[in-house]
Chain A
């Protein structure tokens, strides 16, 4: 006679395994959903036109994403160039040099800061970074600039990305076995030589993955960038020119997107672009990290 608890167990198995599958499929559902919504514009225009044309006139049905793509690229590049050296050096210090007590305080602090919402970063950008960049441009370089620019967005984003890159890099460095450090030190290498030639070399793929995760965070960040980038529809040509990245485009125009034909499809296409790039980046980073984790075991 089958007991109730055995039946419950069987049912639980079916339900949980089904939900595991469902959770795995969510990623694809989002991709397909965005693709379906973007289909009208993809069917009506050539992909080359959409990606490389600079004509953005939704009222006339012209949708050239080039200014926005370049805006995203500039802002992300500045953020990564600023964030990566600082983050990696900080992580190296915390993992290899810092006293255990400093590390015990600093590492949770960094994680705490990773949780600060992007609106708060944005408000700080408006408060502090915008005036700083404006005076830098006007007084030092003599370039007219409102302060809302590629550089401003890059600085704000860099600070948002730092905690993530530091966190992942710390984990990668922790996975480097202590034996290899000891061997190097025993052979007479200095601490920095050990760090540079042994630890860093072993951790390099993992640090690469950390950087990629940082890039994809910067890539899709919306609110902070929306508040400080300037939002002018023109491909930026310098650090001090305003930018209009893709996420800001979506966030700024959701209100009117249903009143203009094809506009909603265009914005969904922008979301799809972000989705595809981030998924590819993250998948690559995950594969690298998984490979490394296998090596440790």
Chain B
């Protein structure tokens, strides 16, 4: 009888411990969002999102962070397009042309997985070295290339996972109807995997837009909108970082507002990825 009580006691003790940590973890993460919202919302204005920094912006002057918003969007979209152009053929190669259990395929998957964990500051340093090697200056182009490298492993592996989920029978059916592997890959596999591909792109885009350490050396910073791919470009995370670093309280408040903008964009992207994948899955054959 005593033993049973001990077991029950232990059960309840750990249950409370588990619920407690669940509450603490989700609570503190919610707290982060809440404090950004509370500090950022009062400093938010139409000017913030619709104009570039004017004279004395970093001392509390007029202006907004349109340069950073546009810059981040350009960096992330350029990088996503570039990474997609590489990820699609790689995923097709991994799943269509290479046999199951091929050495090359497992080597590439392993290497991409390891690459996925490499910190973005290392990409930043490597991108900087690459930039000097090709004689480029800190610019939109150099930033796009670095961010593309950063999100390549995420996108490749996410798309690869989706392709693996497509039933092999479907490919067999298209082959038996006389389609080549390329035709089957492009018109059956990619169409069937479309919801997953969309999710993969949106997630990578979100990662690209939020990353600061990789663009710190490579994209530069500018108060103006970029005029070409070779001009330096601002980005949201760096705008937040620089604004918070000033001693002026109004500018610091704008950093919170900028953080709110960035967080909102990223949360919308993540939610959009989920909704898109659900909506698009209606069109695939199950």
A-to-B contact residues, CB < 8 Å:
5-6, 8-9, 12-13, 15-17, 19-21, 23-28, 30, 33-34, 36-37, 85-87, 89-90, 92-94, 97-98, 106, 108-113, 115-124, 126-128, 159, 162-163, 166, 190-193, 195-196, 213, 216-217, 219-223, 227, 247, 250-251, 254, 267-268, 271, 274-275, 278-279, 281-283, 286, 290
CB-based contact A119/B259 at 8 Å: yes
Residues of B within 8 A of A87 (CB): 21, 25
Complex A-B: 6 CB contacts under 8 Å: A27-B118, A34-B126, A86-B25, A110-B26, A117-B266, A271-B126
Query: Which residues of B sit under 8 angstroms from A117, Cβ to Cβ?
Result: 209-212, 237, 262-263, 266
CA distance A250 to B256 in the complex (A): 25
B115: interface (CB < 8 Å): yes
How long is the Cα–Cα vector from A279 to B117 in the complex, in angstroms? Answer: 7
Q: Which one of A8, A30, A196 has the highest number of Cβ atoms from chain B below 10 Å of its Cβ?
A: A30
**Does the CB pair B119–A222 fall under 8 Å?**
yes
| Least Cβ–Cβ distance between A277 and chain B, in angstroms | 10
Q: Is the CB of B108 within 8 A of A20?
A: yes
**Could you tell me if B119 and A247 are in contact, using CB atoms closer than 8 angstroms?**
yes
Chain A interface main SS type: helix
- Cβ A37 vs Cβ B104 within 8 A: no
Provide the bound-state CA to CA distance between A123 and B17, in Å: 29
Which of these, A16, A33, A126, A193, contacts B126 with CB under 8 Å? A33
From B28, which residue of chain A is reached at the shortest CB distance? A159
Cross-chain contact A20 with B262 (CB below 8 angstroms): no
A16–B93 touching, CB < 8 Å: yes
Min distance, Cβ A223 to any Cβ of chain B, angstroms: 5
CA distance A94 to B111 in the complex (A): 31
In the bound complex, CA of A196 to CA of B7 (Å): 12
* A283 engages B121 (CB within 8 Å): no
A93 touches B22 (CB 8 A): yes
Pick from A20, A127, A166, A278: contact of B35, CB under 8 Å? A127
A221 surroundings in chain B (CB, below 8 A) = 119
Contact B21 A26, beta carbon cutoff 8 Å: no
Residues A19 and B86 in contact, CB atoms below 8 Å apart: yes
* A-contact bits for B22-33, CB 8 A (1 contact / 0 none): 101110110111
Residue on B nearest A102 in the bound complex, by CB: B22
* Cβ–Cβ contact B259 & A286, under 8 A: no
Determine the distance from Cα of A271 to Cα of B180 in the docked complex, in whole angstroms: 45
As a 0/1 sequence over residues 142 to 168 of chain B, the CB contacts with chain A under 8 angstroms (1 = contact) are 000000010011001000000000000
Q: Which residue of B lies closest to A163 (CB)?
A: B29
Ranked nearest first, the 7 interchain pairs of A and B with the lowest CB-CB distance are A220-B119, A117-B210, A16-B93, A24-B108, A93-B18, A271-B125, A282-B117
